[in-house]
Amino acid sequence: MVKIFEREKCDEKADKVRAMIARPPIDPTYKHRNRRSMIWPTAVIEDPRTGDFLGYQMPYKDLDKQENAQRYARENLLWDDSEPEVRYKTALNLAIVVNAIHQQGHAMGDMNHQNILIEKGGYVSLIDCDAFHIKGPEQIYSGEVFFSRYTPPEGRGNTLTEVRRSDRFGLGIHIFQLLMEGFHPFQAKGSGATGGSFDDMIDGNEFPYENPEPGELEPHSRAPDYQSLPKGIREQFGKCFVSGKAQPITRPTPQTWISTLREASGLANDEGGTTDSGKEGSSETEEDTRTGQSIREGTTTRNQQSTGKKENKEAEKSIRELRAEGSPASGSATNATTATKTPGGASGTTHRSQRHGGGSMQSDQGRASSASDSIQRQKTKATQIGATVASELRRTLIYIGGLLVILMVIYALLVAM
User: From first to last of its 417 residues, what are the pLDDT tens digits of the chain?
Assistant: 999 999 989 999 999 999 999 999 999 888 777 889 999 999 999 999 999 999 999 999 888 889 999 999 999 999 999 999 999 999 999 999 999 999 999 999 999 999 999 999 999 999 999 999 999 988 999 987 788 999 999 998 889 999 999 999 999 999 999 999 999 999 999 999 999 999 999 999 999 999 999 999 999 999 999 999 999 999 999 999 999 999 999 999 999 999 999 998 887 654 444 433 333 344 565 555 443 333 233 333 333 433 343 444 444 444 444 444 443 333 333 333 333 333 333 333 333 433 333 333 333 333 333 334 444 444 444 445 555 555 566 666 666 777 777 777 677 777 766
How would you class 242 by CB atoms within 10 Å of its CB: exposed for 0-12, middle for 13-18, buried for 19 or more? Answer: middle
C-beta separation of 186 from 192 below 8 A? no
Which amino acid does the sequence have at 199?
Answer: D
Residue 311: the pLDDT is: 43
3-state secondary structure of 381: helix
Nearest residue to 145 via CA among 362, 358, 356, 354: 354
Short-list 258, 252, 223, 253, CA closest to 240 = 252
Torsion of CA 142, 145, 151, 156, to 10 degrees: 30
Residue 229, Ramachandran bin (φ over 0: left; ψ between -120 and 50: alpha; else beta): beta
Under 8 Å between Cβ of 244 and 172: yes
pTM (2 d.p.): 0.68
* Helix orientation angle between 371-416 and 302-324, rounded to the nearest 10 degrees: 60
Q: Is 213 helix (H, G, I), strand (E, B) or coil?
A: strand
Question: From CA 169, how far away is CA 167, in angstroms rounded?
Answer: 5
Rounded Cα distance between 169 and 108, Å, is 12
194: part of which helix (H) or strand (E)? Answer: none
What is the rounded distance in angstroms from the CA atom of residue 204 to the CA atom of residue 217?
A: 11
pLDDT of residue 152: 96
Inter-residue contact 244 to 236 (CB < 8 Å):
no
Q: How far apart are CA 58 and CA 41, in angstroms?
A: 5
Tell me the CA distances in angstroms from 160 to 24, 230, 246, 311, 326, one per residue in order. Answer: 17, 32, 19, 26, 43
Contact 58, 2 (CB under 8 A): yes
Burial of 269 (0-12, 13-18, 19+ CB in 10 A): exposed
Its sign, for the CA torsion 177, 181, 183, 188, is: negative
pLDDT of residue 227: 97
pLDDT of residue 161: 93
Q: In what order do the strands lie in the sheet with 66-68?
A: 66-68, 116-119, 123-126
Q: In this predicted structure, what is the pLDDT of residue 151?
A: 95
Per CATH, the architecture of 64-183+224-265 is what? Orthogonal Bundle (1.10)
Q: How far is CA 142 from the centre of its chain?
A: 12
For residue 405, give the nearest of 78, 108, 56 by alpha carbon: 56
Query: For residues 61 and 125, is the Cβ–Cβ distance under 8 A?
Result: yes
The CA distances from residue 30 to 36, 97, 103, in Å, are 5, 11, 16
Q: What local confidence, expressed as pLDDT, does residue 393 receive?
A: 61
